[in-house]
Chain A
Amino acid sequence: MNFLNLDARVFIYIGMFGSGKTELAINTAVELKKSAEHVALLDIDVISPYFRSRDQKNALEEKGIKVISPPGALSHADLPIITGQVGGYISNKEYLTVADVGGNEDGATVLGSLKPFLDPVRKKTFFVVNALRPFSTSFNEVVRNVKKISQSGRIKIDYLVNNTNISSETNVEDVERGEKIIAKVSEYLEIPVAFSVAKDGLDFSGKFQVFKLKRYLKNLW
């Protein structure tokens, strides 16, 4: 997946809770770092208490990716903290910046508050869909989610992403199932599909480009 062709400096992932935004944001930052000197990852997820980008802060900073998250012990707090640096890294022209936004309407609300920073920059917003997650399994549900979250975030969605998976057990049929639903949504809402996600090791090719995903948020065991 070549993100540099997209004419954007800021890449924003939004979607339903648990749709895979964090893994995608991390993978995107890692991908961008291959060709860009300065890459920042904004953890502006105010919804999830565990499994957040900030948990990978050390690993990502070793790769030279700047991770912006609540400082010190506050990173464990279930408080909606957005640090002042976030606006700075959205505006900073030297950086390619990836934003990992919290799930559902409540998570997307954060983008509304960042609107003064986001409006002037070249950006692309990706709406992530896992059609094997609850309340996202049908055309109607996905359309509803896209509309609701776009409204709450006061942001236009540029691309849909098919991230249909059931974690380690995902097979080709699962990804295809997502493609079918998302293709229909894409046609109806007139939002193009950027890519389908396939986990590392899954041999998949379908209607859309494929973005191979490496898993960073692993269980302890």
Chain B
Amino acid sequence: MKMLFKGSEAIAEAAVRSGCRLYFGYPITPQSELTEYMSRRLPEVDGTFLQAESEVATVNMMYGASCTGKRVMTSTSSPGFSLMMEGVSYMAGAELPAVFINVVRGGPGLGDIQPAQSDYFQATKGGGHGDYRMIVLAPHTIQEAVDLMNLAFDLADKYRMLVTILADGMLGQMMEPVEFPKMRDPNDVPKKDWALTGASDHDPRKVTSFDIDPYELEKMNLRYQATYKKVEENEVRYEEFNTEEADIIVVAYGTMARIVKTTIHMAEREGIKVGLFRPITLWPFPYKRLNELSDTVENVLTVEMSYGQMLEDVKLGVNGKANTPFFGRSAGVVPTPTEVLDAVKKAMGR
């Protein structure tokens, strides 16, 4: 049965269905509905909801909870995600699986509460200190956000990595009909032979990001890098829409991709075939496929609700094979389909 859900609420319900019973968080617009939903829903399924005193506390609660091997998550919006960065780095170093939801709003600083995509660098290029990576998933509909939650937890467990769902305020706040997967048994998740579950029936285990010996620490780092390489080889995801024999390819993710889909129909009426390349994994970025597509067009236009962040990855993918023009608005201003169409025409010299 389909129901009408806000993006934030839908992500919360999908997390519960994926077997997540531990949520720590601190409310912040435009995703407070997610926190509120969890506060009501988790007690119904014998889960634990804990409103932390800050985002700094939240991420460290997640660190502790994840050590037990249970599925754990939080949700926040831009300034809150910044506050979590120290803990994110510690968790990445300790190879702890967890899922973060960042419903991005206008920045930098306090910014505003309107939708934006300007946390792309923070999510995909670090944000915290050290050589670490996070898997970053970018849904463009509420149904897709629901469908990606199971994957987010599975990838986190499989690779012992952090997974971030990078949504924007629009996806967090809008309402759409959704269908949820069946409830998954929270105990029916992959066995974790590293989890701290009491050493009565096995040797003591250690979860840490620390080694005082640089050569030992380097070994740990090499292990992380080997994991990241595997993820890059196996977990790239993207959608192509209308790209075959397109006159121009537009690269966009999240809400921006929704807008481009409307632009595609508008452009069709003017005799321009616009193709959409939509990365679903922002890290690992689909460089290879974008490189192949760059052989087929003169222009690969990047559009973002930020000022040219994903553009840097697009340029790495295109690697000089095509022009890489850019159009973006930020700070909570969402480009209209007409503005994107104008950018398309400008890129094509029309």
Chain A residues within 8 Å of B, Cβ to Cβ = 17-18, 48-51, 76, 78, 130, 132-135, 137, 165-169, 219-221
CB distance from A78 to the nearest CB of B (A): 5
Q: Give the complex CA separation of A2 and B208 in angstroms.
A: 68
Contacts of A78 in B (CB 8 A): 29, 113
Q: Are B114 and A76 in contact (CB under 8 A)?
A: yes
Contacts of B114 in A (CB 8 A): 50, 76
- Our pick among A17, A76, A134 for the contact of B3 (Cβ within 8 Å) is A134
Contacts of A48 in B (CB 8 A): 173
> Is B147 located at the chain interface by the 8 A CB criterion?
no
Contacts of B261 in A (CB 8 A): 221
Q: Give the complex CA separation of A59 and B16 in angstroms.
A: 40
Beyond A132-B2, A132-B4, is A220–B336 a contact (Cβ under 8 Å)?
Answer: yes
Q: Give the complex CA separation of A59 and B177 in angstroms.
A: 27
Q: Give the complex CA separation of A48 and B36 in angstroms.
A: 13
CB distance from A202 to the nearest CB of B (A): 14
Q: Are A169 and B2 in contact (CB under 8 A)?
A: yes
The B304-350 residues at the A interface (CB cut-off 8 A) are 334, 336-337
Q: Are B336 and A76 in contact (CB under 8 A)?
A: no
Contacts of B1 in A (CB 8 A): 132
The B240-271 residues at the A interface (CB cut-off 8 A) are 258-259, 261-262
CB distance from B75 to the nearest CB of A (A): 15
Q: Give the complex CA separation of A76 and B336 in angstroms.
A: 19
Given contact pairs A18-B9, A134-B13, a sample of 20 additional A-B residue pairs in the complex whose CB atoms are under 8 Å apart: A18-B4, A18-B6, A48-B173, A49-B29, A50-B169, A50-B173, A51-B173, A132-B1, A133-B3, A133-B4, A133-B5, A166-B4, A166-B177, A167-B4, A167-B177, A219-B258, A220-B259, A220-B336, A220-B337, A221-B337
Contacts of B33 in A (CB 8 A): 17
Q: Are A51 and B40 in contact (CB under 8 A)?
A: no
Q: Give the complex CA separation of A48 and B172 in angstroms.
A: 12
- Our pick among A137, A166, A221 for the contact of B2 (Cβ within 8 Å) is A166
Contacts of B3 in A (CB 8 A): 132-134, 137, 166
CB distance from B13 to the nearest CB of A (A): 7
Cβ-closest 9 pairs across A and B? A166-B177, A221-B262, A50-B173, A166-B4, A78-B29, A169-B177, A132-B3, A221-B259, A49-B29
Beyond A132-B4, A169-B2, is A219–B174 a contact (Cβ under 8 Å)?
Answer: yes
Interface size on B, residues (CB 8 A): 30
Beyond A135-B40, A166-B4, is A18–B262 a contact (Cβ under 8 Å)?
Answer: no
> Is B37 located at the chain interface by the 8 A CB criterion?
yes
Q: Are B259 and A130 in contact (CB under 8 A)?
A: no
27 A–B pairs (Cβ distance < 8 Å), ordered by A = A18-B4, A18-B6, A18-B9, A18-B175, A49-B169, A49-B173, A50-B114, A50-B169, A50-B170, A50-B174, A51-B174, A76-B112, A76-B113, A78-B113, A132-B1, A134-B9, A134-B37, A135-B40, A166-B3, A166-B177, A167-B175, A168-B177, A169-B177, A220-B170, A220-B337, A221-B259, A221-B262
Q: Give the complex CA separation of A156 and B265 in angstroms.
A: 49
Q: Are A134 and B5 in contact (CB under 8 A)?
A: yes
Contacts of B173 in A (CB 8 A): 48-51
Q: Give the complex CA separation of A51 and B114 in angstroms.
A: 11
> Is B69 located at the chain interface by the 8 A CB criterion?
no
Q: Give the complex CA separation of A132 and B262 in angstroms.
A: 28
Contacts of B5 in A (CB 8 A): 133-134
Contacts of B337 in A (CB 8 A): 220-221
Q: Per-residue 0/1 for B97-124: is the Cβ within 8 Å of any A Cβ (1 yes, 0 no)?
A: 0000000000000001110000000000
> Is B232 located at the chain interface by the 8 A CB criterion?
no
B256, closest chain A residue (CB)? A221
Q: Are B259 and A49 in contact (CB under 8 A)?
A: no
> Is B298 located at the chain interface by the 8 A CB criterion?
no
Q: Are B113 and A167 in contact (CB under 8 A)?
A: no
Contacts of A17 in B (CB 8 A): 33
CB distance from B314 to the nearest CB of A (A): 22
- Our pick among B4, B13, B112 for the contact of A165 (Cβ within 8 Å) is B4
> Is B30 located at the chain interface by the 8 A CB criterion?
yes
Q: Per-residue 0/1 for B1-27: is the Cβ within 8 Å of any A Cβ (1 yes, 0 no)?
A: 111111001000100000000000000
Q: Give the complex CA separation of A166 and B173 in angstroms.
A: 15
Contacts of B9 in A (CB 8 A): 18, 134
Q: Give the complex CA separation of A97 and B334 in angstroms.
A: 32
B340, closest chain A residue (CB)? A221
CB distance from B156 to the nearest CB of A (A): 25
Contacts of B175 in A (CB 8 A): 18, 167
A50, closest chain B residue (CB)? B173
